[in-house]
Amino acid sequence: MESAKGESYTFAGFQKVLKAQPALHGDDMSRTYAPPPEHPAADVRDEGFLAAVAAGESRLTLDQGLALFHALPLPELGRWADARCRRLHGEAVRTYIIDRNINYTNVCNAKCTFCAFRRDADDADAYTLPKEAIHEKIAQLEAIGGTQVLMQGGMNPDLPLDYYLDLLASIRERFPRVHVHAFSPPEMVEFVHFFNPPGADFAGKVRWVLTRLRDAGLHSLPGGGGEVFAAPVRRKIGLGKCDAESWLTVMHEAHALGMFTSATMMFGHIEGIADRIHHMGLVRAWQDRVLSRGVEGFGHYKSFISWPFQRENTPLGRIKDWGHAPEELASEFPGDVVARAFAWGAHPDVDYRDLGPAAAEFGRRVRMSGASDYLRTQAISRLMLDNVYSIGASWVTMGPHVGQVALAYGANDMGSVMMEENVVSSAGTTYCLDEAVLCHLIRGAGFLPAQRNNTYDVLRVHDGHDAPDLKVTDWSTHRARKLHIQAPKAGKAALTVSAKP
Ligand code: SF4
């Protein structure tokens, strides 16, 4: 089957599109990887330069990324990000995965100001799931054709290494076909603190823990806890959470062990726009490092997903919006002032209190992100991250239809159906979609929906009449359908399935 442009809709044809980017996908990654050249003098409004960026032939510098963020009208920026996306992923197919979030514990010794999920161990609704409850959730996932489980939790000092090893081994034994994508870098950093593993340095200790978890059944790491890497921001919003260097080191060690990971960014709070670009630049630089080591035995970042901060029920969400007093808007946003002094990381210890009145409210004002700011940020990420294969749309936080529009702003992947989500839903987001709705959204955006696995190999292209969305006869009732399994309350591991129209 072919499109009007002669592009194959088949699995083999799609694989051909993927292999056109050998440096970015799996085993075909080039042994002689070299990043695209930079042209720092180029004007970001120059269409020839932007065409070269979209083709992967030229790299945006950090300064150019920041300038581009502000330079172009949103639809125009979207068109360039879309051009880059089509170059990498073709014209025909956009993907999704069927996986399940399992938050195995909400007990956490960190106190991130943006978090509504964490509990202290003695809180009435603190929980840690026994492996039997986790198995039940995975069985439900397999029953709907799911291929991956995403497990993340709080940083719980009461859980020994054996809890994780036993859990992973039991999942591998009972569900050998399920890919285990689990334990984000902040959890890994705390594992090092909790378990005091052998190792000459932090990286060596991480490697020791990662090796044991991998051998027990861990396949890949999610990019949670990335937030915003810039040290002044991180010091303000992530109380007790690891710094950027530790986060990136964990991922680098995972890559060195052959594991693929994702990277994330949570923006739209106290940070400057330059902090977002700096964050993307760090992911890109560390990706260069691992890609430059060659293909044999190495993993790398497969995807980047960014989403705006959700404020409900969080300490950070209670601070005032920038511009709550109109006269504030005559000044620059304090996050932008501090980001400029941070100077792309050249001054990591910059103290906002030394920057005068312009930065005085840093950390005490949020600049919340709406749909257009989200789409602009995602589009920039597609253009900045020339060495990352996939950009994921964040419909979980932005809503299904903004997620759908995001497919025209550089995203190639709609993420997962949502059987269960406890973290951002604690902060007020409650979107929950099944496979038919996800396929409907992708098809409505002008693409064929395709189910993928964790490594972005396509499992099924829905180009026939038996597609999940094409079997739906009444969208007026199906749209509201949710498949949401609530987090257990204190002392209960029982699950409540809600699939009501
Ligand atoms: S975001 Fe994660 S690390 Fe931070 S407090 Fe919440 S559960 Fe803990």
Tokens of 186: 């902040």
The rounded distance, in Å, linking the Cα atoms of 491 and 191 is 25
Radius of gyration from C-alpha coordinates of the chain: 22
Instruction: Please tell me the distance between residue 112's alpha carbon and the centre of ligand 1 in angstroms.
Output: 6
Atom of ligand 1 nearest to the CA of 153: 7
Best mutation site among 113, 187, 241, 425 for ligand 1, i.e. most ligand atoms within 8 A of its Cβ?
241
pLDDT-based confidence at 31, cuts 50/70/90? low
Q: Name the one residue in this structure whose structure tokens are 């937030």.
A: 227
The rounded distance, in Å, linking the Cα atoms of 240 and 246 is 13
**Class of residue 187 by CB neighbours under 10 A (exposed 0-12, middle 13-18, buried 19+):** buried
Give tens-digit pLDDT for 258-283.
Answer: 999 999 999 999 999 999 999 999 99
Atom of ligand 1 nearest to the CA of 114: 1
Q: Judge whether 38 and 61 are in contact, CB under 8 Å.
A: yes
Tokens of 425: 């839903």
Secondary structure (3-state) at 415: strand
Instruction: Please tell me the distance between residue 226's alpha carbon and the centre of ligand 1 in angstroms.
Output: 11
The rounded distance, in Å, linking the Cα atoms of 183 and 194 is 14
DSSP string, 86-130: HHHH-SSEEEEE-EEEEE-B-B-S-EETT-SS-B-TTSTT--B--
Q: Average the pLDDT over 184-196 and give the result.
A: 95
Which residues does ligand 1 sit against, CB inside 6 Å?
108, 110-112, 115, 117-118, 154-155, 186, 241
User: What is the phi/psi pair of residue 439, to 5°?
Assistant: -65, -40
Instruction: Please tell me the distance between residue 240's alpha carbon and the centre of ligand 1 in angstroms.
Output: 9
pLDDT for residue 474: 87
Q: Average the pLDDT over 64-84 and give the result.
A: 98
Atom of ligand 1 nearest to the CA of 238: 4
Q: If you average pLDDT over every residue of the chain, what do you get?
A: 87
Best mutation site among 102, 112, 184, 421 for ligand 1, i.e. most ligand atoms within 8 A of its Cβ?
112
CATH 3.60.130.10 assigned to 15-100+185-216+224-321+363-498: no
DSSP string, 212-263: HHHHHT--BB--TT-S---HHHHHHHEETPPPHHHHHHHHHHHHHTT--EEE
Largest CA distance in the chain: 64
Q: Average the pLDDT over 439-456 and give the result.
A: 94
- Bridge partners of 87? none
Best mutation site among 115, 237, 266, 314 for ligand 1, i.e. most ligand atoms within 8 A of its Cβ?
115
Whether the per-residue pLDDT at 243 is higher than 90: the answer is yes
The rounded distance, in Å, linking the Cα atoms of 482 and 97 is 17
Residue nearest to atom 4 of ligand 1 (CA): 112
Residue nearest to atom 7 of ligand 1 (CA): 154
User: What is the phi/psi pair of residue 192, to 5°?
Assistant: -60, -40
Q: Average the pLDDT over 303-316 and give the result.
A: 90
Secondary structure (3-state) at 441: helix
pTM for the structure as a whole: 0.89
Instruction: Please tell me the distance between residue 114's alpha carbon and the centre of ligand 1 in angstroms.
Output: 8
Average the pLDDT over each of 365-374, 421-430, 481-490 and give the range with the smallest value.
481-490
* Side chain identity at residue 200, one-letter code: A
Whether the per-residue pLDDT at 295 is higher than 50: the answer is yes
Q: Judge whether 444 and 479 are in contact, CB under 8 Å.
A: no
Secondary structure (3-state) at 266: strand
pLDDT for residue 481: 54
- Residue 127: count of CB within 10 angstroms of its CB: 23
Atom of ligand 1 nearest to the CA of 186: 3
CB contact set of 99 (below 8 Å; sequence gap of 6+)? 141, 146, 147, 148, 149, 150, 179, 181, 416, 417, 454
Q: Average the pLDDT over 296-310 and give the result.
A: 91
Instruction: Please tell me the distance between residue 118's alpha carbon and the centre of ligand 1 in angstroms.
Output: 6
Average the pLDDT over each of 112-126, 286-300, 396-410 and give the range with the smallest value.
286-300
Q: Judge whether 379 and 61 are in contact, CB under 8 Å.
A: no
